[in-house]
Structure formats: structure tokens, C-alpha cells
Amino acid sequence: MNSSRGFVDSIVRYPVKGLAGVPTLDPVRLEPGRGLRGDRAFAIARRDSTPSATGWLPREHFFHLARHEHLARISLGLVEEGSESSTLVVETSEGMARGERRSSPSGEVGAFDSTAIDDLLRRTLGADHGEARLVEAASEGLWDWEHAHVSIINLATLEELAREAGMPVDRRRFRANLYLTGLAPFEEFELVGRRIRVGDAELEIFQPTDRCRATTIRPVDGVSDLNVPSLLAARYGYAYCGVYARVVGGGSVRPGDAVREETGAVASLEGKPGWPRAARVLAKEDESDDVVSLWLTDPLDLLPNALPGTHVRVHLPDAPTPNWRSYTISGTAPGRFRISVKRDGRVSTMLHDAHAVGDTILVSGPHGVGGDDASRDLLLVSGGIGITPSMALLRSRVAQRATGRVRVVHSARSSTSLPLWEEACRAVAELPDATARLHVTDTPPPERCDGFTAVGGLIDADALASIVAELDLDRADASVCGPPTFAAHMRALLERSGFAPDRIHVDLFSSPASSEWGPPRAPRADLPLRIESAAGSFVWEPAAGSLLNAAERAGLDWPSECRVGVCGTCVRTVTHGEFEYLNEPLCEPGPGRVAVCSAAPLTPLRLDGAPAGS
């Protein structure tokens, strides 16, 4: 059995990486292990970069749109005159040039002569990045990702983005080879890890496409006018749009061809936690009148192996935006993971009402920093549905046959609505030195307490101090989760009881606080500041905006992808100094770390353990 996944609307080839595409109405052949003939066959190299024998180098070796938006103002024509002869015509503000490959009368294929194009590129692009020149791929195309063959965009997703942006979104921003129609918005992510047949060709969808600054650039004039990654992150909780495919079965494809999903999954799929992918609902269990648990699969099998304390983002394309929300993983088991959802807000309500066993749901994660040293003492303090991280930690302690002492303190409004409490008490009973204490605020405490202590009223300072006194504070951690005021109050009480502040973890979610998105704020610092890093030092100027921009202006090649705080590629450690975020990063860099694409310094900084005064 196979199922319909829309139709091919149009086909585009990009002879030179970073330059304009050349659409075709004719059938094209997709080659196994390669893709469209002549696609990304050339790139404009910076410095001395030459594609390796495998035909691939990271994009930092080439001019690319995310960093060189003026590429959008270079036009390109492709003339093909037979299977091995081709002519490229490049036009810039400095003039026009042709390059060509000819075959000898005996059929021998000659080298591509790019002398005139190289000369034009040097005059157009300047000498800032060394001698620009056209280089040719040895085998596979010069993609941003190794082993990518075909880029696919779902046009319904772009229509959805245009609605959210309040302006047209030109499909050329996304530089796809195949534009598909007839799908629902973001349906392409359901294909990650699946095989599809397009025309006569067979493809494996092996990853979603993360979007970088290149998509912010208006194709007609190279002006950065729409922050697509930021829009995606704010409204949908990720910066992905479209998917990459590998060609596993060659064949001919033309506009209008049907796309069908084949049976069977991609054999080995190694993914990143941030990828949106389709999880299947295996079971739904009522925990109380307003909390339901969902057990789900993960095609990447990352979430069933998540560390306790991490969370998953649920993305519901059918819900009004922002249509994503974070949930702590409340339990894991081989091949499955669990979230426990309180009926509260539109995403949670849809999970309660609109998703049944067997349905698929888009998820990403695990996100956040988790983990637990099971030999240390552990105090778990929770309020309401904040019991979910406590539950994950308790399950982990039981699974590890932990030796550290465990104390559970939970606050609930009603003794008749206690989601996950019985399960927590069962886990406590299995641990060697553990107790559980329940505080009930709005009703009398339960009359029967199996394995726990119950009292009426709020958790107060004395109650908490007496529990803390049972722990070895030199070897103890605390985890706090609940409504923000509850969590802040509990943290203050714990610190007063002698808990070291850096051993208290307060669970924070990065669910969308608002649907706002837009350009980064202006930096507050108005003077140049010195930045020292292990790779080199430079002076940040306010006009540069982000630390990443300033580093690049200074000639440093710091890795980056999305440039809007989503992917985490640019995160570096901060060993000295203070900084601010110009846009809040979604990638959760963690303490002592900074996403340099989204941050500006407030004081001189030392990064990556750079020695002082280097």
C-alpha cells in the first residue's frame, strides 16, 4: 500500500551554489546518489577552497547567501547543448561573462573554462574574501549538507508562512529542486524517515531542512526583509521548512507527477533532537479529571532515551499560532516516552480532545539539560502538574537502583485530583531511603495515605527545613517545578534552609510567551568592547549587532547555521564578562554559554576559555 502525498508543481536546478535557479518544464532525470544533473555543480570558492575528491566541503568555504546577500543580485543562465556540453552565462552590475565546457570531436569531455566568469566575479565581489573563482564539484553537488541530493518544499507551508507574515513569501527564498502542491502545511515533516516515489524516481527523505539567514533575503534585490527563521521559531517552535531527500532509485520526473509515500522506513536514520518528526500515539491514560498522559513513539528513538528533566516540544500545525508547547517528559520505556498534559491552553486542549491512539503528532526534542547523579541525595519539590519532572527523576532512580536519599514534597489543591501521585509513591516505596509528603491546600488531606504523609495547607519554611535537615547538603540536589510564584517561593525557602543555590534546579519551559517576532533589538552597549576567544580576539562595535557578526567582520570563521538562536550551532562558553540577548534564543544554551548569533556584549568578554589579555 502507498498513499498520496501531493504532486510536483515545479522543478528548479541551481547550477551554481548560492546563485539563482533555472526552472525547467521538461522531464528531468534524478540519478541515484546524485540528484538532478548539473545541480549545485559549481560554487564560488573563497580563499583556496577546492572541493575534495568526495565532492563536498562545508559551506564556509564558498560564497553563500546567508553571509553574502549580494549573490542575489547576480543573474545566471544555463544553456545545455547535449549531455556533456554546457554554457553558463553570469551577469552582474559589472557586466556579463560566459563560461563553457566543450567535448572534443572524439567525444572526450573537456574542463569547464571559467576564466571570464572568474574575472567578472572578482570585480563584482571584491577582494575581502580572497580571490573569488568558480570551482566544480568532483561528484555530488555542493550542498550545505553532505550527501543531500534533492531539496523539497511544500507550497502549502509557504502559503501558511505568508499568512503569518502578512506579506507574500517568494518560493525562490527556499531554493528547492521540487516544489510540491496538494499537501497540508508542514505535512512534509511526516515524511522524514520515509520513502517516496516521485514520477519514476524513488527518494528517501532523510532530514528536515533547517532555515538560515539566506531565507531572509528577497530574491529580486538581495535585501534582507523577512526574518523567516525567527517567524518559524516564534510561531511553530522550530526553524525548519522543507525536507532533504536522497535519490535511491533513478528515474524521470516532470511537473504534474504524483508523489506517493512507499511502505517501509529509511533503514538508518540518525537525527538531531531539534528535528520536527511524527510521533505515534500508543496509549492515552487519564491521570485525573484534567490531566491525561500520552505514550508516544519517536522515529529517531531519541525521546525514549531522554535524560530525566528534559522536555519535548509538541507542534500542532492545525492549531492557531503559536501552535507549539513544551512538556516535561514524565516517563520513558524502551521504544516509547510519556508526556502528562493538563487541560490548559489550546495545544493542551487539542491533545486532550483531538488526538486518539494511532494518530501521529509532530514533536521535537529532547530539549533542555537533564540528568541526575543517582548517588547524591535528591529533594523533589513540586506543585500541581509540576510533578512531571519529579516523576521522570523517580523512575530514573528506580531504574538505576539508586543509593542516594530521596525526599518528595508535593503540593496540590485537592486530595481528589492527584495526577501521578500514586505512581510517585510506588516509586518511593521501591527506593532504599525515600519518603513522600503531600500538602493539600483547598480540601482536607486524604484520609488514607499509602506510603506517604499528608498534611493540610501550604508547604512552609519549617516543614521544608525539617526535610532538608535529613539530607547530606554536601551531596544533595533539589529539583523544583510548579507555577512561577510557587517555584520562586520554594527556591527562596530552600536557600534559607541551607541548600546551595547552584544545586537547586528550577524547571523552566520555553513555551511561546507571545506570538511576537521581528528584527533583533539594538545593543545597549554604545562603546567598542574587546572580545577574546580561543580562536582570536577582536573588537566588537555596536554597529555590528551580534557577536557573530563582529567575529565574522574580524575574519573569524565561527560555525553558524540559523543565525537567529534556534539551532544551537553557534553556542560558545563564556568564561568572563556579561552579555545580553538581542533576540531570545530558542536553543536554550544553558548556564555559562551564549548563542553568539543572538547576543551582544555588555562588558568585555572572554569566550571558550581564552586566556586573559590574549
The binding site for ligand FES (CB under 6 A) comprises: 560-563, 565-570, 585, 587, 595, 597
Residue 415 or residue 583: which is nearer to ligand FES going by CB? 583
For the bound state, the minimum distance from the C-beta of residue 556 to ligand FES, rounded and expressed in Å, comes to 14
Residue 160 or residue 561: which is nearer to ligand FES going by CB? 561
For the bound state, the minimum distance from the C-beta of residue 594 to ligand FES, rounded and expressed in Å, comes to 10
For the bound state, the minimum distance from the C-beta of residue 534 to ligand FES, rounded and expressed in Å, comes to 18
For the bound state, the minimum distance from the C-beta of residue 193 to ligand FES, rounded and expressed in Å, comes to 23
For the bound state, the minimum distance from the C-beta of residue 116 to ligand FES, rounded and expressed in Å, comes to 36
For the bound state, the minimum distance from the C-beta of residue 43 to ligand FES, rounded and expressed in Å, comes to 21
Residue 537 or residue 569: which is nearer to ligand FES going by CB? 569
**Unique residue bearing C-alpha cell 513513539:** 297
Residue 491 or residue 563: which is nearer to ligand FES going by CB? 563
Report, in this order, helix, strand and coil percent for the chain, each rounded to 5.
20, 35, 45
For the bound state, the minimum distance from the C-beta of residue 210 to ligand FES, rounded and expressed in Å, comes to 8
Residue 135 to residue 225: CA distance in whole angstroms: 30
- Name the CA dihedral angle for 593, 599, 603, 609, rounded to a multiple of 10 degrees: 30
Residue 83 per-residue DSSP state? S
Relative to beta strand 324-333, strand 95-101 is unpaired
For the bound state, the minimum distance from the C-beta of residue 72 to ligand FES, rounded and expressed in Å, comes to 20
Residue 214 or residue 562: which is nearer to ligand FES going by CB? 562
For the bound state, the minimum distance from the C-beta of residue 66 to ligand FES, rounded and expressed in Å, comes to 10
Q: How many CB atoms lie within 10 A of CB 261?
A: 17
C-alpha cell read off for 436: 513522600
For the bound state, the minimum distance from the C-beta of residue 559 to ligand FES, rounded and expressed in Å, comes to 8
C-alpha cell read off for 164: 503569518
Residue 146 to residue 13: CA distance in whole angstroms: 18
Residue 67 or residue 606: which is nearer to ligand FES going by CB? 67
Residue 550 or residue 566: which is nearer to ligand FES going by CB? 566
Residue 370 or residue 585: which is nearer to ligand FES going by CB? 585
Q: CA separation (Å) from 586 to 168, 357, 571?
A: 25, 30, 12
Beta strands in 391-518 (DSSP E): 406-412, 434-440, 453-456, 476-481, 504-506
Residue 232 or residue 476: which is nearer to ligand FES going by CB? 232
Q: C-alpha 50: how far from its chain's center? A: 30
The 10 Å CB-count burial string (b at 16+, else e) for 279-299 is bebbebeebbeebbbbbbbbb
Residue 498 to residue 519: CA distance in whole angstroms: 43
DSSP per-residue codes, 523-572: PS--S-EEEEETTEEEEE-GGG-SHHHHHHHTT-----SSSSSSS-TTEE
> Using CA of residue 235, residue 238, residue 239, residue 245, what is the dihedral sign?
negative
Cβ-based burial of 613 (10 A; exposed 0-12, middle 13-18, buried ≥19):
exposed
- Note whether 180 and 259 are within 8 A (CB): yes
Residue 199 or residue 565: which is nearer to ligand FES going by CB? 565
DSSP per-residue codes, 38-56: TTT-EEEE-TT----TTS-
For the bound state, the minimum distance from the C-beta of residue 179 to ligand FES, rounded and expressed in Å, comes to 26
For the bound state, the minimum distance from the C-beta of residue 153 to ligand FES, rounded and expressed in Å, comes to 21
Radius of gyration of the chain (CA): 28
Residue 276 or residue 304: which is nearer to ligand FES going by CB? 276
Q: C-alpha 455: how far from its chain's center? A: 44
**Unique residue bearing C-alpha cell 505512581:** 423
Q: C-alpha 459: how far from its chain's center? A: 38
Residue 482 to residue 458: CA distance in whole angstroms: 13
Residue 252 or residue 569: which is nearer to ligand FES going by CB? 569
